[in-house]
Every structure is written in structure tokens, then in C-alpha cells.
Amino acid sequence: MEKLIIIRSGETVLKGKNRRLFEEKLMKSVRRVLKPLGCHSFYLQHNRIYVPIEQRDESPLLKALMKVFGIDLISIAVKIPVVMEGIKEAALNELLHLQLQRGVKTFKVQTKRTDKSFPNSSQEISREIGAYLLKHTEGLLVDVHHPETTIHVEIKESAYIFSDRIRGLGGLPRETNGNAMLLLSGGIDSPVAGWMVARRGVALKAVHFHSYPYTSKQAMDKVKNLARLLSHYCGPIQLFSINLLPFQQEVAEKCPDDEGTILVRRMMTRLAELLATSHECDALITGESLGQVASQTIQSIRVTNEAVSLPVFRPLIAMDKSEIIQFARKIDTYETSILPFEDCCTVFLPKRPVTKPRLDKIVNSEKLIEMEAMTTDLLNSVEVEWVKEPLHQVVCEDALS
């Protein structure tokens, strides 16, 4: 008997002609997390990835796989010779385990038979195993429509027996949907926004704006740590940082006080777009959520949007703060996000920021500043580094429960 992990992808299977590319990318992501655990002998077969567990403890492998986008379901299967007695025995072990661990009360057996030389039909096999399971257990019923668990029996060159145990992160494998530039602040929202878009197969790059020495080195370290936490899921992230202080000082000196926030937001978005287009990104991502603060009213978002032409993805736009916090806890960024360090947006914060900015007024205020020279200077001062984390430190306990 051999024990192995079977990885199934959901949408990946649906991608028609692109399926091969999607499968290759999923294999690459799986390799990225399993290799550091000394696991090299996994393989792709008929839309699935098989990971022999061998003598290992399976839980570190499962935890690592729980951080891979594009995985829908993870099962632990036994692989045995195609002999009916053995198959029944293995199915019984699996069902008893589920009854004991999860209190399962209803089940069904589902058989898939690619080896047509096997004498019985799939339905006959399911029925025979089902009857055997009922006879050798107590307190369990068959429910073919809404079973609490399905015992899968697959008959190929060998027989595989497993149940649907663990739901993966879903989404699409990394690198199947281009690149996007995340505007990463030190807050709660932007890491969640980046994670959500990355789950759709988008590779992330990130840009952070600071106001050193008004903002501290610790604030920058916090942002790097957030990028590091994201890289558990997304792979290494190229992080750009720009000191926005010269622009903020000019705005404070020359522009109406209440327009400070919106002018800074437009500048950030513009700089992010310039970095994005010079680094093969086709979209920006922000953690904006409608009405959360003055710069996130519908009018402010429109005026910010007018500064750029790339699409701006705002996956949190209709979410409540409490939902975003819940999400941040799940992906493990929350505790880092709430560390108390000044953000550049709080430097020179207007007392009463305009909440319904008018585009024509804002554009006029920008004319008071040498925007082109300022943009060039700020871009010339950009710092860049790759952020990554050793993968064997990856843990996500509650994702498994």
C-alpha cells in the first residue's frame, strides 16, 4: 500500500487549449513549496498532481500546499493493487476514519473506472462497496444526493481510494494572468487587496511611498514584512519604495490645505503607473474601499482614477472593514498591519480634507507645482529590492481546520 496526496485544480481544468500552460504553472508553484521540504518525486497525470508521501509526516506538505493558488481540493489517497477485497478494506478504513474524526453520518461511494478490463461497471462496484461499508459499520447511512462525504474509488493501473478532505485556496496558478503593481501601504487593506488579485493568477510587484525621516525605518521594515508574508503565497515580490516628502512639502507650501490628501493620492497613483508600465505590469491594485476615508469617497476615487489610464483593481471596494480584517487574519497579515508606525499619508494631513473634490480645481492646483520635473526626480530616487521568505517557515494552521 502506498500513501499519496492527490491535488486537484478546479478552474485550471476548464481552460481548454491553455490547460497545459496552467498545469505547468501549477506544477511550478507546487515545486516551489515542496522542494524546500525535500519532496521532489511528484508528478502530473490526467489533470492531477500526485505527491507520494513515502515515509514523511504529511502535515508539513499539506500546510505548504495550502498556500498555493490554483489548488481546489487536496486528498490523501491510498494506492493499492486492483483487487476487490483490498479496495473494500481501504474504503472501510477511510470511512471509519471520517466517522471517528468528523462525526460523518452519511456517505456515498463514487467509482471511476479508466481500466475497462475490470469486469464490473462503475455503478456495480460502487453498489458492492457501499453494501460492504454498511454491513461493517454502525450509525452510517448512504445518501446519494447530499452525502456528508464521498468515498472515491478510482480504478486505473492501480486502485486509488480517497475522500474530499481539504479545500485548497482555489483561484488560478501564479503567472497565468500577467503582472500587476500593488500600492502597498503599511495598513490592513492593501495586503488583502494584493492577495485577492494574486489569487487570480496575477504575479505581484509592489510600490510603497514613505516620507523619511518623518516616517521611520521601522515603518519601512513593516512594509517589507507585509511583502514577505504575501510572498509565501505569491513567490518573490519586487518591492519599489519612493520618498514622497519633496512632493508633500511642495503641496503643503503651494496648494490649498484641504486638497493635500487627494493631490498626494493622484501623485502616488501616477508614479505607480509609471513604474508599472516600465516593469511589465498591466494594472494597478489598491486597497481602497468605498467611503472608508475622505480619499475613498466616490468623487475622490474618480478624481484619482483620472490621473492614470491603466486599469486600477480595487477588490475591496464593496467590503466592510470588519470583513477585510477577518480576511487579513486568515492570510496572516493582520498582526503585522496593526503595528503602530506612522504612514506617509498622516504626514501633513489636512485638518479638513475635501471629500468631494472637483477635477478641474485639482488639476489647477497641480499647475502650481512643476509636476513633470517633480515626477522625474521622484522616479530617479526609487529604491528597489526583492522580498522573499524561506518557504519552510510557512504555516497556516487554521486554513487546515
183 among the known binding-site residues? yes
Rounded least distance, CB 371 to ligand ATP, Å: 19
Using the contact rule CB under 6 A, the part of the chain among 18-26, 73-81, 161-169, 201-209 near ligand ATP is 201-209
247 among the known binding-site residues? no
Q: By CB under 6 A, name the one of 62, 184, 234, 271 that touches ligand ATP.
A: 184
What track of x and - describes contact with Mg ion for positions 182 through 221 (by CB under 5 A)?
Answer: ---x-x----------------------------------
| Interacting residues with ligand ATP between 202 and 231 (CB under 6 A) | 207-209
Strand partners, 207: 183, 240
- From start to end of 230-355, where are the E strands? 237-243, 284-285, 312-313
Looking at the Cβ atoms of 92 and 204, the one nearer to Mg ion is: 204
Cβ within 8 Å of residue 385, ≥6 positions away: 224, 238, 239
Using the contact rule CB under 6 A, the part of the chain among 170-178, 183-191, 224-232, 246-254 near ligand ATP is 183-191
Helix runs in 15-121, H state only: 19-34, 58-65, 84-102
16 among the known binding-site residues? no
Q: How is residue 242 written as a grid cell?
A: 519612493
Rounded least distance, CB 178 to ligand ATP, Å: 19
Distance CA 148, CA 103 (A): 10
DSSP letter (8 states) at residue 263 = H
Rounded least distance, CB 335 to ligand ATP, Å: 14
Q: Are strands 106-113 and 166-170 parallel, antiparallel or unpaired?
A: unpaired
| C-alpha gyration radius of the chain | 26
Strand partners, 240: 207, 384
Cβ within 8 Å of residue 338, ≥6 positions away: 188
Rounded least distance, CB 312 to Mg ion, Å: 16
What SS3 class is residue 111? strand
H or E segment and range at residue 386: strand 383-387
Q: Is 287 in the site for ligand ATP (CB under 6 A)?
A: yes
284 among the known binding-site residues? no
Kindly tell me the burial class for residue 84, based on how many C-beta atoms sit within 10 Å of its own C-beta (0-12, 13-18, 19 or more): middle
Using the contact rule CB under 6 A, the part of the chain among 73-81, 106-114, 284-292, 386-394 near ligand ATP is 284-292
Q: Is 289 in the site for Mg ion (CB under 5 A)?
A: no
Rounded least distance, CB 292 to ligand ATP, Å: 5
296 among the known binding-site residues? yes
Rounded least distance, CB 255 to ligand ATP, Å: 18
What track of x and - describes contact with ligand ATP for positions 328 through 357 (by CB under 6 A)?
Answer: ---------------xxx------------
Q: By CB under 6 A, name the one of 185, 297, 336, 365 that touches ligand ATP.
A: 185
Buried b (16+ CB within 10 A) or exposed e, 137-156: eeebeeeeeebbbebbbbbe
Spatial CA neighbour of 75 closest among 98, 92, 55: 98
Binding site for ligand ATP (CB under 6 A): 183-185, 187-190, 207-209, 268, 286-288, 292-293, 295-296, 343-345
Binding site for Mg ion (CB under 5 A): 185, 187
- Binding site: what residues are annotated? 183-184, 208-209, 265, 287, 296
- Binding site for ATP: what residues are annotated? 183-184, 208-209, 265, 287, 296
